[in-house]
Each structure stands twice: as structure tokens, then as C-alpha cells.
Amino acid sequence: MTDQNILNQKHIKAIKYIRNWLIHNGRTPSVRELMTALGYKSPKSAQDILSQLRKLKIIKKLDSGNYKLVSNPDLGPVHAQTVNIPLVGVISCGEPIWAEQNIESYIPVSVSFIKPGFQYYLLRAEGNSMDGAGINDKDLVLVRQQSMADEGDKIVALIDGEATIKYFYKTKNAIILRPKSSSNQHKPIILTDDFQIQGVVIDVISDSGL
């Protein structure tokens, strides 16, 4: 675990900015974006901070040249008890959503949302297929990992390697995943057993509140 004492204020400011950018934009900022945000005059200063964070094992460079947060150090006083929940990014076909290679970062979440004995993850919503259920584009959705669901639950389903959030319903011969959208372009998905339930939606963190 990273020692809080070896993080200076520049490190902390960079980590906070990287984490917030990741939540809102679905990726980490470029060197120039980080340079501008931190008020540096040259990309080298931002690159130096990134190099230091790599040595501290807070970020990891990816084969693409981009990077991701792999540690979530204590960045200051916390007024509520929290636990670090993984924020999931791109889903690889055939892998569980919460597989390590899919994790972009870890976000502190109040323990009041967490039920002991379960694992949780955060997923970034895309599109408006569930805006009628209060889940809008770029919102973060808190999901409790489980492979079963009750009628009417909002679930995360993995279909052909892609995650989707829908209402879960069962008939005698089929599973129906229903959207709740302001747009009529979104239709129910009718399935048999050719999908996986990856969790049940517990709460939604609006993008406007982040």
C-alpha cells in the first residue's frame, strides 16, 4: 500500500484530477490535458508527475500508451467511513465484468451502501435506454455482484461480451430484459439462457453530482 507520507501536494492534486477525469470522461487525461489542469508550462512537468506516480505504483502504463489508476491512496481526512469500489471500464468478451484487467480505478463509496458478505463494483452507464429509471448517460451505477435476480430487479447483463443494464422479467419460456427510456428506439431484449447476470443495481450516482 502507498505510504501517505511520501505523497506531496502535487501528487495529491494530480491523483484527484486523474480520478475525476476518469469518472466523467471514461479515460485518463492526456499529458497535455494534465499539464493544463495543473497549471504547468510544459508537458515535461506533467510527464514527470506521471513518472513519479508510476514509481509509487499508483498508476500503470498500458500497452496503448495510456495509463490507468491501480491504487487509491488516502488523499486527506475522510468524514465518513468508506470502502474502495472498483470502477469497471471496457469489458472483454467472456470475462467477468469485475476482472482485474477491466478495472479502471477504485472509488471511495460510503459503507452505508454496502451489505457485508457481497462484492460490489461501479459501472459507467452509456446511452438513454434506462433514463426513465433514473440512469442517465455517464452516471455511475453501483452494482452488487450476483448471478441471480428477482422479478423487476435492475440488472447488469452480459450479452455477447457487452454489458447492458435493464429490468429483469421472466416468462415460462424466456427471459425479458426491458428498457425504460424516453426514446422509443429501445426495445425489450428476449432471451433464453444465452446471457449472464453480472449483478443487481443498488444505486445510481448522477454524473451531475460528481
| CB hemisphere CA count around 115 (13 angstroms) | 9
Query: Catalytic: which of 166, 170, 181, 206?
Result: 166
Contact 104, 88 (CB under 8 A): yes
Residue with the three cell numbers 478495472: 103
Q: Rounded to an integer, what distance in angstroms lies between the CA atom of residue 33 and that of residue 50?
A: 12
Catalytic (active site) residue 166: yes
Residues found in the chain:
210
Q: How many CB atoms lie within 10 A of CB 94?
A: 10
Beta strands in the chain, from DSSP E residues, in sequence order: 59-61, 67-69, 82-88, 103-110, 120-124, 140-144, 154-159, 162-170, 175-178, 189-191, 196-205
Write down the catalytic residue from 129, 172, 180, 183. Answer: 129
Distance between CA 155 and CA 200 in Å, rounded? 4
User: φ, ψ for residue 141 (rounded to 5)?
Assistant: -110, 125
Q: Return d(Cα 109, Cα 32) in angstroms, integer.
A: 30
Phi/psi-derived region of residue 62, left when phi > 0, alpha when psi is between -120 and 50, beta in every other case: beta
By annotation, the residues acting in catalysis are 129, 166
